Amino acid sequence: MLRKPLFPSLLILSLLFYFCNKDPVSPKLEPGKRNYVWSLDTLDMPVNYIGAIWGATPNDVWAVGAGGTQNDRLLHFDGEEWTTYTKEIIWCSGNTLFGFSADDVWMGGGGGWLSHGAGIWHFDGNTWSERYVYDIDSAYQMEVQDIWGTSHKDIYASGIVSFYDGQKDDMRGFLLHFDGKNWKTIIDVGPYNSQFIKVRKEKKKLFILSWQNGLISNGPDRWTLNLVEEDSVKEFYSSQNFVNLNMIGNRAYFVIDNEIYRYSGTDLAKELSFADSQLNLRVYGVYGKNEADIFIKTRDGLAHYNGEETQHLYEFPAPRMSLLNTPGIFSTDIFFAVRNASDVNAWNLVLHGTIMNNGGELP
């Protein structure tokens, strides 16, 4: 494992970032801290590729990849180093991780080499074990793409089911729910060519981000935002450009063309805007504990909004690097899974930031 200390750039991005008065943030929030020290950890995943990360604490973080073998796709960080988890054979080809505590962690992906169903595994603090396999007899392949929940009795899993008749592909989405005891199907097979990539919930509103493959529909690729209504989905936005669904605190936000939107109940309302013609900033996701402590995933690295201004926190040291999926955010630490396509010997990385204390030292 290679750790390279990297210190934050003090470059201030002259971005316009505003909140609409329609849904004000009250009371005034304390600006999020930025005095991070950064390191890049190289993961020992030579035939795998990192896909997701989640942690209960900065000393208890998991990372998983969907490739490799059942013996090397899951890694753990204990606060000092990353090690391959080998206590159990992990058949699940992990695409996603989510949890609530050290003894309540979920992983989703494919069911493994002996199953074409979608697998869901659980860690109880001691052992990883298979908890559910969602299978459709006529399906060619199935995978869980995302797991997310509001409590240990309200968890959702979204994914993709592929049908293939020997000539034509048909890839659709599915949605599952866990009530604390059992996994049950909400949507068994979604609309034509609609892959359920991500699921999030705000109060009683359940959102799904889906993707349509242009090769299947003989048209352009499309990203679609949907609201779940009973056992079906209602589309409320679609675009050929990249769209993302993220949570800041317990509120859902939608990234569309460098602007951030909220769902008003009937349509999208602009909440935040990034506007700068010189920097050519490309925003791919927003994450944070509240609206004054937002981490911004960009094409060139990581930026931060503290309720007053936006600052660039971290710039990639090489081209063809990208931040993946949802980070692990704690009071003093943040972890991002990183894909490094510029170096085959350091393909899988974790970007780890730790806040310095008032004395300029790590806590």
Q: What value does the mean pLDDT of the chain take?
A: 88
Q: What is the pLDDT of residue 261?
A: 96
Quick count: other Cβ atoms within 10 Å of Cβ 241?
Answer: 10
Rg of the chain over Cα atoms, rounded to whole angstroms, equals 20
Q: Which helix (H) or strand (E) holds 215?
A: helix 214-217
The structure's pTM equals 0.90
Specify the DSSP element, H or E, that contains 214: helix 214-217
pLDDT in tens, 171-221: 999 999 999 999 999 999 998 889 999 999 999 999 999 999 988 888 899
Q: Could you tell me the two tokens for 234?
A: 């209602």
**pLDDT above 50 for 61:** yes
Res. 121 pLDDT band, cuts 50 70 90:
very high
The predicted structure's pLDDT at residue 276: 62
Q: Is 2 exposed, middle or buried (0-12, 13-18, 19+ CB in 10 A)?
A: exposed
User: What kind of fold does domain 3-7+36-246+314-355 have according to CATH?
Assistant: Tachylectin-2; Chain A (2.115.10)
Query: Residues 139-153: pLDDT tens digits?
Result: 888 999 999 999 999
Helix, strand or coil for residue 207?
strand
The secondary structure element, H or E, covering residue 248 is: strand 243-248
Residue boundaries of the structural domains of the chain: 3-7+36-246+314-355
**Residues 340, 346 contacting (CB under 8 angstroms):** yes
Q: Percent of the chain scored above 90 by pLDDT?
A: 65
Alpha-carbon distance of 44 to 268, in angstroms, equals 42
pLDDT for the residue 13: 39
Using DSSP's 3-state secondary structure scheme, residue 141 falls into: strand
Percent of the chain with pLDDT over 70: 89
Rounded to the nearest angstrom, the gap between the alpha carbon of residue 344 and the centroid of all alpha carbons in its chain is 23
